[in-house]
Structure 1
Amino acid sequence: MSPLAGPTLPQMGRKVVLTALREDDIDRVVEACSTEQAERFLDTPWPYSRADAEGFVREFAPSGWRGEHDERVWAIRESLRGPLAGVIGLRTIAGEVGFWLHPDAQGKGLMSDALRTVAGHAEGCLTWPEVHWACYDGNLGSMRVAKAAGFTYLGTGEGEQRGEPVVQHRAIRTPSGMPAGARPWPPLD
């Protein structure tokens, strides 16, 4: 099997190291994407299987780095050789970021750091004028992360999950001032 394609150099945050996904991440992907939270808040297949994780790690993530689709995915780790804490990706056509954390990595500030790091990469290296974020209604953890990473809340809109209509919260991060349509973040307790 050929080596997995991915970023050639790790991205360093204050608390995280963003790297390519590895073969030994597959079990952690299955664990993270098989939770009740994943079913409710992610656009992953459900029920999530080992074959889904193998396809994600071996095919989807590397093919994005080869330019075969528009999403670049990084593994989130606490150290270069550490276990997978989560995944964060940039979708270039939509100018959007998406992410998830393994349950045992939540509550440590890792995702806010990863999001600040990737948004900074999008704004600086990729020269994106703005980075978009969205989550399904009820995902307060994701909303807290976006707020902590400097995103400005824009309100709600219609979305779709597994073919069903849903409400999505939306926010944006711009390096140049307050965007039009900014609103206060709802209570995130």
Structure 2
Amino acid sequence: MSAPLAGPSLPVLGGKVMLTALRESDIDRIVEACSTDDARRFLETPWPYRRPDAESFVREFAPAGWRGEHDERVWAIRESLRGPLVGVVGLRGERSEVGYWLHPDAMGKGLMADALRTLVGHAEGCLTWPEVHWRCREGNVASMRVAKAAGFSYLGTREAPSADGAGRDGERRLEHHAVRVANGMPADARPWPRLD
């Protein structure tokens, strides 16, 4: 019997991007992306983010998900098969939830919206989830724009689900929530807030 997969065996093709397994060569780009001010404010990653964090993510966390040791599957986002990492997108099975981030030099090209549409279509078509959830911290307008462009229906705000209800700075925080359902629109959908 062959060893379990440590990542997706084939790329998932989108209109502008392809989703692949992470590679050792992605580590420096991950450090760059997860060391920005926006990463500190909006991502649930260690802070300050260092090279050992990225090494552990690529070598341990991502492969463990593909081996079924936890419930998150992670894909690298690239513009071409051999191209550099432009971002990461993941699906958390227990909550049917998507999460993502983009490297700063890849922003403004519509790559993340394409990656999210591609992944959600893959989830609905291959993983047969009836719905996929999304959330972001209040103030993350870029993430909200991506979710809206990828066809998610807005559900409003809720208090963050952290154990103490607070962020890194100790302040209580709200999160925006949305969902993409396989058929139609959820009954509790609301208009998206202004995102300009």
Find the aligned partners of 1:99 and 1:79 in 2 and give their Cα distance: 18
Aligned to 2:66: 65
Ranges in structure 1 where 5+ consecutive residues have no aligned partner: none
Measured after TM superposition, the shift of residue 5 of structure 1 is 1.3
Find the aligned partners of 1:149 and 1:83 in 2 and give their Cα distance: 23
For 1:94-118, what per-residue CA distance to the aligned partner results, in whole angstroms no more than 9, with x for missing partners?
0000000000001100000000011
Ranges in structure 2 where 5+ consecutive residues have no aligned partner: none
Amino acid in the other structure paired with 1:6: G
Find the aligned partners of 1:108 and 1:50 in 2 and give their Cα distance: 27
Find the aligned partners of 1:51 and 1:35 in 2 and give their Cα distance: 16
TM-score, length of structure 2 as denominator length: 0.93
Aligned to 1:184: 191
Aligned to 1:146: 147
Find the aligned partners of 1:68 and 1:162 in 2 and give their Cα distance: 27
Amino acid in the other structure paired with 1:178: M
Aligned to 2:29: 28
Amino acid in the other structure paired with 2:178: A
Aligned to 2:129: 128
CA RMSD, Structure 1 to Structure 2 (Å): 1.6
Structure 1 range deviating more: 26-35 or 117-126: 117-126
Find the aligned partners of 1:8 and 1:178 in 2 and give their Cα distance: 32
Aligned to 1:156: 157
TM-score, length of structure 1 as denominator length: 0.96
Aligned to 2:179: 172
- Secondary structure of the residue aligned to 1:97 is strand
Structure 1 range deviating more: 4-13 or 39-48: 4-13
